[in-house]
Amino acid sequence: MPSVRMTSLVKIHRVGRQVVRAADGVSLEAPQGQILTLLGPSGCGKSTTLRCVAGLERPDDGEILFGDRVVFSRARRVFVPPEGRNVGMVFQSYAIWPHLTVFENVAYPMDVRGVPRRRIQERVAAALDLVGLGALADRPAPYLSGGQQQRVALARALVYEPEVLLLDEPLSNLDAKVREQVREDLRGLQRRLGITTIYVTHDQLEALSLSDVIAVMQAGRIVEVGTPQALYARPTTRFTAAFLGEISFLSGAVAGREGGMLTIMTPSGPLRCRDAHAVPDGTPVVAGARPEHVTLTPDRPAGAASVFEGTVASALYEGGRVKYRVGMDGLTVLAYGAPRFAPGDRVHVAVDPDQVIVLPDLAGPATRPMAPGSPAGPPPPAPPTPG
């Protein structure tokens, strides 16, 4: 299985006079045998990038290599059409044909290319076994659950034994439970086949749980690339930090270091965090705290590195935990905890110093209210500065 490498990929869409740089200098590698996920908000260029890899779009610039093989290069005037690339693809709307059986759906791409009947039989049976649908080959497609239809689409993508698998939001039509099951199956299948895969989603949970490598995309560009763990725990941009999960941001400035701890002076008081950042004193920074690293207590906890005081603004019961919003001096912090507090309660807010995410404050030293990031979209614009 080859790796897939994109270098300075540009794809421009034109609608009338409007020009959209859907892929705007994308350089990225899907390592051999791994899952690379393109994660980003709607319209950021994920599908366009994937379609360029499949050969369904002709890029305006850049290069795409499968291993050592150039499949697109503007400079070298190479464009290998889709059928010459040996990729399997599941589209955003997975489009299986309702008038065909499971078998016929999976056989379709080979049928239209005139592959001999016996060969088709073998390949389809193997592909259906892979996705656990061997017993349903003769069933008409409409008599399948959503998850089973999804597997048919996947079997159809795999039937050619492709070297590269391209999946564009393949689980978006499934309800939460089935989605989780198919996600696990997909991960297991990908591991077993060792097939180089590019996966597109705007769902951060899906990206975190499926990927070997995540590339965060915004407005046609790659913002950041890393393993799920690295991007979640140590993002280097506010966009990534907010896109990968819920987070509260505190603005402040570095006010000294002592005993391996950095102190950030915020409007709510000093915040201490592990000094893993070569940031000089006085530098404006944004400190991010994920709700699982924020602890609420009625009394001031002994020995905590940084403790603030606040008032519970809301408590949202989520089953295993409660999501609290706590107001402190005009800011809002998110915390997870046991069902213990009600709106209006005064609480102490402790932030785990080992888990604080320190980011450069590109907007400068101004104090901004902490805006919880929306996991389904880019961070909301900062409200006006208080005071």
Contact residues for ligand ATP (CB under 6 A)? 13, 15, 20, 22, 40, 42-48, 92, 202
The item of Mg ion, ligand ATP, none sharing an interface with residue 204, based on CB under 5 to 8 Å by kind, is none
CB of 78 to ligand ATP, least distance (A): 23
Q: Which helix (H) or strand (E) holds 80?
A: none
16 or 364: CB nearest ligand ATP = 16
The item of ligand ATP, Mg ion, none sharing an interface with residue 42, based on CB under 5 to 8 Å by kind, is ligand ATP
The item of Mg ion, ligand ATP, none sharing an interface with residue 157, based on CB under 5 to 8 Å by kind, is none
**In the complex, which residues of this chain contact Mg ion (CB under 5 A)?**
47
Count H helices, E strands: the chain?
8, 21
The item of ligand ATP, Mg ion, none sharing an interface with residue 105, based on CB under 5 to 8 Å by kind, is none
CB of 46 to Mg ion, least distance (A): 5
CB of 214 to ligand ATP, least distance (A): 14
> Greatest CA separation found in the chain?
76
47 or 150: CB nearest ligand ATP = 47
Among 13, 8, 33, CA closest to 194: 33
> Which DSSP state fits 41?
-
218 or 263: CB nearest Mg ion = 218
Q: Look up residue 263 and give its amino acid.
A: T
Instruction: Quote the Cα angle for 318-324-327, to 5°.
Output: 160
Instruction: Quote the Cα angle for 223-227-230, to 5°.
Output: 85
Tokens at residue 109, please?
């791409």
47 or 367: CB nearest Mg ion = 47
CB of 17 to ligand ATP, least distance (A): 12
Among 168, 152, 155, CA closest to 56: 168
The item of ligand ATP, Mg ion, none sharing an interface with residue 44, based on CB under 5 to 8 Å by kind, is ligand ATP
CB of 379 to ligand ATP, least distance (A): 17
Tokens at residue 237, please?
């941009």
CB of 96 to ligand ATP, least distance (A): 19
Query: What are the E-state strand segments in 178-283?
Result: 196-201, 213-218, 221-226, 248-258, 261-266, 269-274
**Could you give the CA distance from residue 166 to residue 153 in angstroms, rounded to a whole number?**
12
201 or 367: CB nearest ligand ATP = 201
